[in-house]
Structures are given as structure tokens and as C-alpha cells.
Chains A and B, each alone.
Chain A
Amino acid sequence: MGMFDPLKGFGVTFATMFKKVVTEQYPEDFYPSAPRWHGRHQLNRHPDGLEKCVGCELCAWACPADAIFVEGADNTEEERYSPGERYGFDYQINYLRCIGCGLCIEACPTRSLTMVNFYELADDDRRKLIYTKEDLMAPLLPGMEEPPHPMRLGENEQDYYVQGPELARGRGVPEGETVETSKEEAIQ
């Protein structure tokens, strides 16, 4: 212990006054999470607005917290929600169970389920935190149409899966944009 050690301590305090402030002013300024951050889910659409979900329940089976409930139903010619045979009739995610591990995203065979990096989910009601299909569905982009409607982009579901990106361009989605997720924000 030297004689000047107590003064050195004050020196640190004094020097800190001239350093850049590290505090994030969060609610006033927004700081986006990392682009691939596991936030809220989103159910995607094909470029013509038909749903990608086929109601296979693989996400529900993969979920370690049992947070997802899916009920499939058959498409008919009059009422078509997705290309192919089946669609997700009921889809619920309980955000009070979901741990954001992303296993459901890995399990999804059609990339219907993805995550966006929205995270401000807190609410005062348990019931409101069970998100239903309407809450999770991706917004309609230009060129999309609310289902039910017939397949606009091909004869069968094969066309939808094989030529997805070209069909998206044809529907007016610009180059470099995707119909899959919302815009990813990167940390500046």
C-alpha cells in the first residue's frame, strides 16, 4: 500500500468522466438484436398469399417445452389455404412456454415457420400470450392475396416448391427481397 493509492482510485473515477457513455437509452432509442436472434415466430406465405404451413405437426413434436399446438385440415377445391392436400387449420404458440430454442424452425419441412427478431412481448394477461394463427401469420406483401383462393402460380404444389424464387419475382417481389421473414436488422 503506497501513500497515493487512495488518490489513484479517485483518478479512475475522474478519468471515467471523459469516457464515452456506454448506457443504451433503450425505450427512446431502439437497439436491434442480432439478425438471426430468436424472437417471435412467423408463419410465412407463398408469393401469391397461400400459406406455407401444411399442418404436419412436426414443429409441435420437436418442441421441448410443448408450447406449440397444431391442428391440420384438408384443403378442398372451393376453399384452398395452401398448395397441396393439407393446411394448418389451427395454430397456437404459447409464449409463456416457448424457450426460443428454434427446434421448431429446424423441424419445419416447408420453411413455413421462421422467427423474426421482434422481442417486446410482455403482457399482463396469460391468455393474450397464446398467439393464434392470425397473430403469427406474415403480413400480406404486394402481389399477395388473402386465402382461401385457388393456386395462382402453378398446376400443383410441386411448382410452388421447385420454382419458388422465380415465382416470387414474377409476383412483383424485388430482387434480393424475400417473402420468408420480415426485414432482418443488423446491429450497426
Chain B
Amino acid sequence: MGLEEKLPSGVLLASVEKLANWSRQSSLWPATFGLACCAIEMMTSGGPRYDLSRFGMEVFRASPRQADLMIVAGRVSQKMAPVLRQIYDQMSEPKWVLSMGVCASSGGMFNNYAIVQGVDHIVPVDMYLPGCPPRPEMLIDAIMKLHEKIKHEPMGPNRAKLKAEKGEELALPPSSVAHASAKTRDERLRTVPPNEVEGKRSSTIPLQLLEER
């Protein structure tokens, strides 16, 4: 962006990074991009029962310039794709994209000529949220995980290089475990499937195997 790219990385900028990330994370303003049934769940999340304003994000911005998180909720048709891209381009940096529901993430059950097979063909996606539609808790969970990602985002290329050298992968445990109080944590851990708790499951498909097929 500016100064932080030219200075060597050090104590001061590390603290600035933390502060900047904290302020970005604690007031994400979402742009409305409700396209289908997932949008109903998204609206519910903003309502009194689930109340997204607890995380400083109750106002769904109709103007992209005032928003920094785009929640793509619903199936993206080929005709909608350029519109979506334009809205994304109009949003000011830094910006994030949350792909809500299976249709936005991969086309879901609509594997046909009319639907874009995953919104990541058009815009870079930071968080995928499966579900058809995902319940409001799942959306809040995805947002909490995105908060965690933003919190650890490097500021400028120097910090990015440093972080890449360390090579730590960010663990994203289920939010109800990560944010549970010390008292309820153990009880919650017992009910969660064991391999979900580590944040990383025991296995993901090795790339090699995918290429062989």
C-alpha cells in the first residue's frame, strides 16, 4: 500500500498490523448480495435472534464502496456474473468474499449451463460455507472463522514473506469450541466429532491422487 512496504519489518509494524487487523475484523461491513434462498438465512442472521450487530456488522450496505465483505448468498447465474464482478471491483480495499451455500461455492445441485460452477471463477473467495441453505449459526461460524483469518493477515509483502517462511497453517476450529467459555468448553468438545476439533481433518485428498485420476 504505502509506507509499510518500504520499511523493514519490525516491532512497530507488527503492532500496527495487529491494530489494523483488529479494527478491520471487528467492524466488517457486508455488502448485500442476496441472490436466492440463502439470502433469507442471511437476513435472519441480521435479525434480533442471531443479531450480527454483536460483531459490528449489522448494516448490510447497499453501496459497495462502504462495504468490505461481500456475502454471495445463492446461485450465481451466468448473466449475474459480470454484475457480481462489477460490485466486487467497486468495493474498496481491503475486501473479502464469503461464498454462502453450496450453489455459490460450487454450483451445488445445479450443474447446468445457466449457473456459474462456483463464484470463485469470478472473484477470489476467502471462506466457503457449505449448506443448502446454511443455518444462521453456520453463517456466524463462517464469519467468525473469517475474523480469525483477518486477524492473522500479514500487512505488506515483508510481513507476508516472514509469515510464509514460518510456514504455519492457520487452524480453524468450530466456533462453538473456539469461543466457548472455559466452563462449557470440555462439554462441547465431547459432542463435536473428534477430527473436527483440530481445525484440520486427518486427511485431505493429496493433489497427486487427484492428478492421477
Residue ranges of A at the interface with B (Cβ–Cβ < 8 Å): 22-33, 40, 42, 64-66, 92, 94-101, 116, 118-132, 134-135, 139, 182-183, 185
B123: shortest Cβ distance to chain A, in Å? 14
CB neighbours (8 Å) of B204 from chain A are: 125, 127-128, 130, 132
CB neighbors of A among B144-174 (8 A): 144-145, 149, 172, 174
CB neighbors of A among B115-132 (8 A): 118, 120, 126-132
Flag if A123 contacts B179 (CB, 8 Å): no
Flag if A27 contacts B140 (CB, 8 Å): yes
| Contact with A26, one of B105, B111, B137 (Cβ below 8 angstroms) | B137
Flag if A132 contacts B205 (CB, 8 Å): yes
- Say yes or no: A118-B50 contact (C-beta < 8 A), given A99-B108, A124-B127, A131-B201: no
Flag if B131 contacts A100 (CB, 8 Å): yes
Taken together as a complex, chains A and B put the C-alpha atoms of A10 and B166 apart, in Å, by 57
CB neighbours (8 Å) of B42 from chain A are: none
Flag if B176 contacts A27 (CB, 8 Å): yes
Flag if B102 contacts A185 (CB, 8 Å): no
CB neighbours (8 Å) of A42 from chain B are: 193
Interface residue count on the B side (C-beta < 8 Å): 54
Flag if B184 contacts A30 (CB, 8 Å): yes
In the assembled complex, B87 has its CB within 8 A of some CB on chain A: no
Residue ranges of B at the interface with A (Cβ–Cβ < 8 Å): 48-51, 54, 102, 105-109, 111, 118, 120, 126-132, 134-135, 137-138, 140-142, 144-145, 149, 172, 174-176, 178-181, 184, 188, 191-196, 200-205, 207
Flag if A124 contacts B180 (CB, 8 Å): no
A30: shortest Cβ distance to chain B, in Å? 4
Closest 6 CB pairs of A and B: A122-B142, A99-B132, A120-B174, A27-B179, A65-B109, A96-B106
CB neighbours (8 Å) of A125 from chain B are: 128, 204
| Contact with B191, one of A24, A27, A99, A185 (Cβ below 8 angstroms) | A185
| Contact with A132, one of B49, B200, B203 (Cβ below 8 angstroms) | B203
Taken together as a complex, chains A and B put the C-alpha atoms of A100 and B191 apart, in Å, by 20
CB neighbours (8 Å) of A26 from chain B are: 50, 137, 140-141, 175-176
Flag if B172 contacts A135 (CB, 8 Å): no
CB neighbours (8 Å) of A92 from chain B are: 205
Closest residue of chain B to A23 (Cβ to Cβ) is B51
Flag if A23 contacts B128 (CB, 8 Å): no
Flag if A122 contacts B193 (CB, 8 Å): no
Taken together as a complex, chains A and B put the C-alpha atoms of A103 and B196 apart, in Å, by 24
Flag if B138 contacts A24 (CB, 8 Å): no
Flag if A134 contacts B203 (CB, 8 Å): yes
Given A24-B50, A116-B193, A122-B141, 11 more A-B residue pairs with CB atoms under 8 Å apart are A23-B50, A28-B180, A92-B205, A98-B130, A99-B109, A119-B137, A120-B196, A123-B172, A124-B128, A125-B128, A131-B201
Flag if B140 contacts A96 (CB, 8 Å): no
